[in-house]
Structure 1
Amino acid sequence: MTAPLADPAVRRVALVRLRVGLGDLVCSMPALRRLRDARPDLRVSLITWAEMAPVVDRMAGLVDELLPFPGAEGIPERAPDPAGWAPFLVAAAQRRFDLALQVYGDRPAANRVTAALGARLTGGFAPTGWQPPSGTGGLHLRYPLDVHEVDRHLRLFEHLGLPPGAPAPMSFPLSGGG
Protein backbone atom coordinates (compact mmCIF):
# COMPACT_ATOMS: atom_id res chain seq x y z
CA MET A 1 0.00 0.00 0.00
CA THR A 2 1.30 3.48 -0.86
CA ALA A 3 1.77 5.72 2.15
CA PRO A 4 -1.36 7.90 2.17
CA LEU A 5 0.37 11.29 2.13
CA ALA A 6 2.33 10.13 -0.94
CA ASP A 7 -0.74 8.69 -2.66
CA PRO A 8 -2.24 11.02 -5.30
CA ALA A 9 -5.62 9.31 -4.80
CA VAL A 10 -5.73 10.82 -1.29
CA ARG A 11 -7.12 14.31 -1.85
CA ARG A 12 -9.38 15.13 1.13
CA VAL A 13 -7.81 14.96 4.60
CA ALA A 14 -9.38 15.52 8.02
CA LEU A 15 -7.07 16.42 10.89
CA VAL A 16 -8.65 15.83 14.30
CA ARG A 17 -6.86 18.40 16.51
CA LEU A 18 -9.13 18.96 19.50
CA ARG A 19 -7.03 21.55 21.33
CA VAL A 20 -8.26 24.89 22.55
CA GLY A 21 -4.96 26.70 22.75
CA LEU A 22 -3.12 28.94 20.35
CA GLY A 23 0.17 27.27 21.28
CA ASP A 24 -1.16 23.83 20.40
CA LEU A 25 -2.19 24.92 16.93
CA VAL A 26 1.03 26.88 16.38
CA CYS A 27 2.95 23.67 17.16
CA SER A 28 1.06 22.01 14.29
CA MET A 29 2.05 24.65 11.76
CA PRO A 30 5.57 23.44 10.80
CA ALA A 31 4.16 20.03 9.84
CA LEU A 32 1.22 21.66 8.06
CA ARG A 33 3.63 23.86 6.08
CA ARG A 34 5.65 20.83 5.02
CA LEU A 35 2.44 19.00 4.12
CA ARG A 36 1.19 21.92 2.01
CA ASP A 37 4.58 22.26 0.28
CA ALA A 38 4.64 18.55 -0.57
CA ARG A 39 0.92 18.19 -1.38
CA PRO A 40 -0.62 21.50 -2.47
CA ASP A 41 -3.43 19.45 -4.05
CA LEU A 42 -4.81 18.28 -0.69
CA ARG A 43 -7.98 19.75 0.76
CA VAL A 44 -7.27 19.88 4.50
CA SER A 45 -10.10 20.15 7.02
CA LEU A 46 -9.13 20.89 10.60
CA ILE A 47 -11.53 19.50 13.16
CA THR A 48 -11.42 21.52 16.34
CA TRP A 49 -13.61 23.76 18.50
CA ALA A 50 -15.65 26.50 16.82
CA GLU A 51 -14.08 29.26 18.91
CA MET A 52 -10.74 28.47 17.30
CA ALA A 53 -12.06 29.89 13.99
CA PRO A 54 -9.99 33.12 14.23
CA VAL A 55 -6.83 31.04 14.69
CA VAL A 56 -7.76 28.68 11.86
CA ASP A 57 -8.48 31.70 9.63
CA ARG A 58 -4.84 32.73 10.10
CA MET A 59 -3.82 29.25 8.97
CA ALA A 60 -5.61 29.77 5.64
CA GLY A 61 -2.59 28.91 3.52
CA LEU A 62 -2.23 25.61 5.36
CA VAL A 63 -5.78 24.58 6.22
CA ASP A 64 -8.73 24.90 3.87
CA GLU A 65 -11.52 24.86 6.42
CA LEU A 66 -12.57 24.42 10.01
CA LEU A 67 -15.09 21.67 10.71
CA PRO A 68 -16.43 22.64 14.16
CA PHE A 69 -16.29 19.86 16.75
CA PRO A 70 -19.26 19.43 19.14
CA GLY A 71 -17.30 17.55 21.80
CA ALA A 72 -17.32 13.88 22.68
CA GLU A 73 -17.04 11.67 25.73
CA GLY A 74 -13.42 11.40 26.83
CA ILE A 75 -12.30 14.74 25.36
CA PRO A 76 -11.59 16.87 28.43
CA GLU A 77 -11.71 20.42 27.07
CA ARG A 78 -15.47 20.69 27.65
CA ALA A 79 -18.68 18.74 27.98
CA PRO A 80 -19.99 17.28 24.72
CA ASP A 81 -23.01 18.76 22.95
CA PRO A 82 -25.04 15.60 22.19
CA ALA A 83 -27.36 17.53 19.82
CA GLY A 84 -24.36 18.59 17.76
CA TRP A 85 -22.96 15.09 17.15
CA ALA A 86 -25.33 13.94 14.37
CA PRO A 87 -25.00 17.18 12.32
CA PHE A 88 -21.22 16.98 12.77
CA LEU A 89 -21.14 13.44 11.36
CA VAL A 90 -23.38 14.47 8.45
CA ALA A 91 -21.01 17.36 7.67
CA ALA A 92 -18.04 14.98 7.81
CA ALA A 93 -19.75 12.45 5.53
CA GLN A 94 -20.54 15.18 2.98
CA ARG A 95 -16.81 15.90 2.69
CA ARG A 96 -16.05 12.27 1.77
CA PHE A 97 -12.64 12.27 3.44
CA ASP A 98 -10.03 10.02 1.91
CA LEU A 99 -7.93 10.14 5.08
CA ALA A 100 -8.76 11.08 8.67
CA LEU A 101 -5.89 11.52 11.10
CA GLN A 102 -5.91 11.74 14.87
CA VAL A 103 -3.38 14.51 15.55
CA TYR A 104 -4.71 15.39 19.01
CA GLY A 105 -2.38 13.37 21.19
CA ASP A 106 -2.35 10.56 23.71
CA ARG A 107 -6.16 10.13 23.96
CA PRO A 108 -8.07 7.05 22.75
CA ALA A 109 -11.27 9.14 22.63
CA ALA A 110 -9.74 11.16 19.79
CA ASN A 111 -9.21 7.94 17.85
CA ARG A 112 -12.90 7.12 18.28
CA VAL A 113 -13.82 10.58 16.95
CA THR A 114 -11.46 10.08 14.00
CA ALA A 115 -12.94 6.66 13.19
CA ALA A 116 -16.48 8.10 13.31
CA LEU A 117 -15.72 10.49 10.42
CA GLY A 118 -16.20 7.69 7.88
CA ALA A 119 -12.98 8.31 5.96
CA ARG A 120 -11.72 5.70 3.52
CA LEU A 121 -8.46 5.53 5.54
CA THR A 122 -7.98 6.27 9.23
CA GLY A 123 -4.73 6.74 11.11
CA GLY A 124 -2.75 9.13 13.24
CA PHE A 125 -1.41 8.87 16.75
CA ALA A 126 -1.85 5.59 18.60
CA PRO A 127 -2.23 6.51 22.28
CA THR A 128 -0.46 4.63 25.05
CA GLY A 129 -2.13 1.26 25.59
CA TRP A 130 -4.47 1.64 22.60
CA GLN A 131 -4.43 -0.91 19.81
CA PRO A 132 -5.23 0.27 16.28
CA PRO A 133 -8.09 -1.61 14.62
CA SER A 134 -7.02 -4.46 12.39
CA GLY A 135 -6.81 -3.59 8.74
CA THR A 136 -5.57 -0.02 9.22
CA GLY A 137 -2.32 -0.95 7.46
CA GLY A 138 0.23 0.73 9.72
CA LEU A 139 -1.36 4.16 9.47
CA HIS A 140 -0.91 4.78 13.18
CA LEU A 141 2.23 5.89 14.98
CA ARG A 142 2.66 5.25 18.69
CA TYR A 143 2.30 8.67 20.33
CA PRO A 144 5.89 9.85 20.92
CA LEU A 145 6.13 11.07 24.50
CA ASP A 146 9.84 11.92 24.34
CA VAL A 147 9.86 14.70 21.73
CA HIS A 148 8.56 18.25 21.33
CA GLU A 149 5.04 18.70 19.99
CA VAL A 150 6.36 20.13 16.71
CA ASP A 151 8.46 17.01 16.13
CA ARG A 152 5.55 14.68 16.96
CA HIS A 153 3.54 16.03 14.05
CA LEU A 154 6.49 15.96 11.67
CA ARG A 155 7.21 12.32 12.62
CA LEU A 156 3.60 11.35 12.07
CA PHE A 157 3.39 13.00 8.65
CA GLU A 158 6.72 11.43 7.61
CA HIS A 159 5.45 8.03 8.83
CA LEU A 160 2.49 8.54 6.50
CA GLY A 161 4.58 9.42 3.45
CA LEU A 162 5.55 13.08 3.73
CA PRO A 163 9.07 13.44 2.34
CA PRO A 164 11.67 14.09 5.05
CA GLY A 165 13.09 17.57 5.23
CA ALA A 166 13.97 20.43 7.46
CA PRO A 167 11.06 21.59 9.59
CA ALA A 168 9.51 24.90 8.74
CA PRO A 169 9.93 27.48 11.48
CA MET A 170 7.19 28.02 14.02
CA SER A 171 5.34 31.19 13.17
CA PHE A 172 1.88 32.69 13.36
CA PRO A 173 0.67 35.23 10.80
CA LEU A 174 -0.65 38.52 12.15
CA SER A 175 -3.43 38.44 9.55
CA GLY A 176 -5.15 35.72 7.52
CA GLY A 177 -3.52 34.04 4.54
CA GLY A 178 -0.96 31.65 6.09
Structure 2
Amino acid sequence: MIPSHQHQTGAPRPAAFLDRDGVINVDHGYTFRPDDLEFTPTAVEGIRLLNEAGYPVLVVTNQSGVARGLYSTKDVETFHDHMQAALREQGARIDAFYYAPFHPDGIVAEFAIEHEDRKPGSGMILRAMRDWNVAREGSFLIGDKQSDADSAAAAGIAAMLIAPNQGDLAGVVRTLLDT
Protein backbone atom coordinates (compact mmCIF):
# COMPACT_ATOMS: atom_id res chain seq x y z
CA MET A 1 0.00 0.00 0.00
CA ILE A 2 2.63 2.53 1.01
CA PRO A 3 5.86 2.91 -0.96
CA SER A 4 9.06 2.67 1.03
CA HIS A 5 10.79 5.61 -0.65
CA GLN A 6 9.93 9.13 -1.75
CA HIS A 7 8.37 10.00 -5.08
CA GLN A 8 10.57 10.52 -8.12
CA THR A 9 10.60 13.58 -10.35
CA GLY A 10 12.17 14.38 -13.71
CA ALA A 11 11.53 12.83 -17.11
CA PRO A 12 9.39 9.68 -17.12
CA ARG A 13 11.45 6.51 -17.31
CA PRO A 14 10.66 2.82 -17.53
CA ALA A 15 10.44 0.72 -14.38
CA ALA A 16 10.67 -2.94 -13.47
CA PHE A 17 7.67 -4.25 -11.53
CA LEU A 18 8.19 -7.52 -9.67
CA ASP A 19 5.75 -9.80 -7.96
CA ARG A 20 7.06 -10.90 -4.57
CA ASP A 21 6.08 -14.42 -3.47
CA GLY A 22 7.36 -17.00 -5.93
CA VAL A 23 9.43 -14.46 -7.90
CA ILE A 24 11.72 -12.76 -5.36
CA ASN A 25 11.23 -15.08 -2.39
CA VAL A 26 10.14 -18.68 -2.19
CA ASP A 27 6.41 -18.78 -1.57
CA HIS A 28 5.88 -20.90 1.53
CA GLY A 29 2.17 -20.02 1.58
CA TYR A 30 1.34 -16.77 3.36
CA THR A 31 5.01 -15.93 3.82
CA PHE A 32 5.40 -13.08 6.30
CA ARG A 33 7.88 -14.07 9.02
CA PRO A 34 11.38 -12.64 8.47
CA ASP A 35 12.83 -16.05 9.35
CA ASP A 36 10.96 -17.54 6.37
CA LEU A 37 12.72 -15.29 3.83
CA GLU A 38 14.37 -17.50 1.24
CA PHE A 39 15.29 -15.86 -2.05
CA THR A 40 14.50 -17.69 -5.28
CA PRO A 41 17.65 -18.98 -7.05
CA THR A 42 18.65 -15.88 -9.05
CA ALA A 43 16.43 -13.19 -7.51
CA VAL A 44 19.18 -11.14 -5.88
CA GLU A 45 21.26 -11.18 -9.06
CA GLY A 46 18.23 -10.19 -11.15
CA ILE A 47 17.38 -7.28 -8.88
CA ARG A 48 21.02 -6.15 -8.86
CA LEU A 49 21.06 -6.21 -12.70
CA LEU A 50 17.94 -4.03 -12.78
CA ASN A 51 19.52 -1.63 -10.26
CA GLU A 52 22.69 -1.39 -12.36
CA ALA A 53 20.64 -0.76 -15.52
CA GLY A 54 18.92 2.19 -13.81
CA TYR A 55 15.41 0.76 -13.51
CA PRO A 56 13.38 1.64 -10.45
CA VAL A 57 12.52 -1.78 -8.96
CA LEU A 58 8.95 -1.70 -7.68
CA VAL A 59 7.36 -4.67 -5.94
CA VAL A 60 3.60 -5.20 -6.37
CA THR A 61 2.25 -8.02 -4.23
CA ASN A 62 -1.12 -9.36 -3.12
CA GLN A 63 -1.08 -10.07 0.61
CA SER A 64 -4.49 -11.58 1.26
CA GLY A 65 -3.22 -13.06 4.53
CA VAL A 66 -3.94 -9.66 6.08
CA ALA A 67 -7.63 -9.80 5.09
CA ARG A 68 -7.74 -13.44 6.19
CA GLY A 69 -6.48 -12.48 9.68
CA LEU A 70 -3.28 -14.53 9.37
CA TYR A 71 -0.95 -11.56 9.84
CA SER A 72 -1.06 -7.76 10.00
CA THR A 73 0.02 -4.93 7.72
CA LYS A 74 2.82 -4.32 10.25
CA ASP A 75 3.98 -7.92 9.66
CA VAL A 76 4.07 -7.29 5.89
CA GLU A 77 6.12 -4.13 6.39
CA THR A 78 8.50 -5.89 8.79
CA PHE A 79 9.04 -8.64 6.21
CA HIS A 80 9.73 -6.01 3.53
CA ASP A 81 12.23 -4.23 5.79
CA HIS A 82 13.99 -7.55 6.41
CA MET A 83 14.03 -8.35 2.69
CA GLN A 84 15.46 -4.92 1.91
CA ALA A 85 18.23 -5.35 4.49
CA ALA A 86 19.10 -8.81 3.13
CA LEU A 87 19.23 -7.43 -0.42
CA ARG A 88 21.44 -4.50 0.65
CA GLU A 89 23.94 -6.94 2.12
CA GLN A 90 24.27 -8.40 -1.38
CA GLY A 91 24.45 -5.10 -3.27
CA ALA A 92 20.83 -4.95 -4.45
CA ARG A 93 17.75 -2.92 -3.52
CA ILE A 94 14.06 -2.59 -4.09
CA ASP A 95 13.00 1.02 -4.57
CA ALA A 96 9.43 0.64 -3.27
CA PHE A 97 7.01 -2.00 -2.06
CA TYR A 98 3.28 -1.84 -2.85
CA TYR A 99 0.96 -4.43 -1.40
CA ALA A 100 -2.73 -5.22 -1.49
CA PRO A 101 -4.00 -6.58 1.86
CA PHE A 102 -7.47 -7.17 0.42
CA HIS A 103 -9.53 -10.28 -0.30
CA PRO A 104 -13.32 -10.45 -0.55
CA ASP A 105 -13.36 -13.69 1.48
CA GLY A 106 -11.36 -12.14 4.32
CA ILE A 107 -12.42 -11.94 7.96
CA VAL A 108 -10.86 -8.53 8.76
CA ALA A 109 -13.69 -6.18 7.80
CA GLU A 110 -11.62 -3.25 6.50
CA PHE A 111 -9.74 -5.53 4.09
CA ALA A 112 -12.49 -8.05 3.24
CA ILE A 113 -13.41 -6.23 0.03
CA GLU A 114 -12.86 -6.23 -3.70
CA HIS A 115 -10.24 -3.56 -4.38
CA GLU A 116 -8.57 -2.24 -7.53
CA ASP A 117 -5.15 -2.79 -5.94
CA ARG A 118 -5.62 -6.55 -5.72
CA LYS A 119 -4.20 -8.23 -8.80
CA PRO A 120 -5.51 -8.80 -11.44
CA GLY A 121 -6.53 -5.19 -10.81
CA SER A 122 -4.02 -2.56 -11.85
CA GLY A 123 -4.26 -0.19 -8.86
CA MET A 124 -0.83 -0.89 -7.36
CA ILE A 125 0.94 -0.55 -10.71
CA LEU A 126 -0.89 2.65 -11.64
CA ARG A 127 -0.15 4.25 -8.25
CA ALA A 128 3.53 3.27 -8.52
CA MET A 129 3.64 4.72 -12.03
CA ARG A 130 2.36 8.05 -10.68
CA ASP A 131 4.62 7.97 -7.62
CA TRP A 132 7.75 7.17 -9.63
CA ASN A 133 6.93 9.08 -12.84
CA VAL A 134 7.11 5.83 -14.81
CA ALA A 135 6.92 5.68 -18.60
CA ARG A 136 4.70 2.83 -19.83
CA GLU A 137 6.94 2.21 -22.81
CA GLY A 138 9.83 0.02 -21.74
CA SER A 139 8.25 -0.88 -18.38
CA PHE A 140 7.46 -4.48 -17.56
CA LEU A 141 6.25 -6.78 -14.82
CA ILE A 142 7.78 -10.15 -13.97
CA GLY A 143 5.41 -12.46 -12.14
CA ASP A 144 4.55 -16.11 -11.66
CA LYS A 145 0.75 -16.15 -12.04
CA GLN A 146 -1.75 -15.20 -14.70
CA SER A 147 -3.14 -12.54 -12.36
CA ASP A 148 0.26 -10.81 -12.59
CA ALA A 149 0.11 -10.78 -16.40
CA ASP A 150 -3.52 -9.58 -16.30
CA SER A 151 -2.59 -6.75 -13.92
CA ALA A 152 0.25 -5.64 -16.20
CA ALA A 153 -2.01 -5.74 -19.26
CA ALA A 154 -4.64 -3.66 -17.46
CA ALA A 155 -1.93 -1.07 -16.68
CA GLY A 156 -0.65 -1.08 -20.26
CA ILE A 157 2.77 -2.64 -19.66
CA ALA A 158 4.46 -5.84 -20.80
CA ALA A 159 4.58 -8.94 -18.61
CA MET A 160 6.74 -12.04 -18.38
CA LEU A 161 5.88 -15.07 -16.29
CA ILE A 162 8.45 -17.32 -14.66
CA ALA A 163 8.09 -20.64 -12.86
CA PRO A 164 7.03 -20.11 -9.23
CA ASN A 165 9.85 -20.44 -6.65
CA GLN A 166 12.44 -21.64 -9.18
CA GLY A 167 12.25 -19.30 -12.15
CA ASP A 168 15.43 -17.69 -13.41
CA LEU A 169 14.75 -14.04 -12.63
CA ALA A 170 18.29 -13.00 -13.59
CA GLY A 171 18.00 -14.85 -16.92
CA VAL A 172 14.73 -13.09 -17.74
CA VAL A 173 16.23 -9.74 -16.76
CA ARG A 174 19.29 -10.35 -18.97
CA THR A 175 16.99 -11.17 -21.91
CA LEU A 176 14.95 -8.01 -21.32
CA LEU A 177 18.04 -5.82 -21.02
CA ASP A 178 19.47 -7.26 -24.27
CA THR A 179 16.36 -6.36 -26.30
For 1:123, the equivalent position in structure 2 comes to: 159
For 2:47, the equivalent position in structure 1 comes to: 32
Once the two structures are TM-superposed, the CA of residue 27 in structure 1 deviates from its matched residue by 4.9
Give unpaired runs (5+ residues) of structure 1: 1-8, 74-79, 126-142, 164-178
Q: Taking every aligned residue pair, what percent have the same amino acid on both sides?
A: 11
Question: C-alpha distance in 1, partners of 2:102/2:173?
Answer: 25
Instruction: Call closer, same or farther: CA 1:72–1:17 in 2, change over 3 Å.
Output: farther
For 1:101, the equivalent position in structure 2 comes to: 141
Once the two structures are TM-superposed, the CA of residue 66 in structure 1 deviates from its matched residue by 0.5
Query: Which amino acid in structure 2 is aligned with residue 94 of structure 1?
Result: R
Question: C-alpha distance in 1, partners of 2:176/2:126?
Answer: 27
Instruction: Call closer, same or farther: CA 1:47–1:81 in 2, change over 3 Å.
Output: farther
Instruction: Call closer, same or farther: CA 1:17–1:162 in 2, change over 3 Å.
Output: farther
Give the conservation status (yes or no) of the 8 Å contact 2:51–2:57: no
For 2:113, the equivalent position in structure 1 comes to: 82
Once the two structures are TM-superposed, the CA of residue 83 in structure 1 deviates from its matched residue by 4.8
What is the count of residue pairs matched by the alignment?
123
Once the two structures are TM-superposed, the CA of residue 25 in structure 1 deviates from its matched residue by 5.8
Deviations 1:94-137 (A, max 9, x none): 2445313133x2x2122112323x24x31211xxxxxxxxxxxx
Give unpaired runs (5+ residues) of structure 2: 1-11, 22-26, 64-72, 105-110, 118-122
Instruction: Call closer, same or farther: CA 1:112–1:29 in 2, change over 3 Å.
Output: same
Give the conservation status (yes or no) of the 8 Å contact 1:70–1:82: no
Give the conservation status (yes or no) of the 8 Å contact 1:70–1:84: no
Q: Which runs of 4+ in 1 moved over 6 A?
A: none
Q: Which residue, 52, 60, 78 being the options, matches 1:47?
A: 60
2:18 is aligned with 1:15:
yes
Instruction: Call closer, same or farther: CA 1:90–1:110 in 2, change over 3 Å.
Output: closer
Once the two structures are TM-superposed, the CA of residue 44 in structure 1 deviates from its matched residue by 1.3
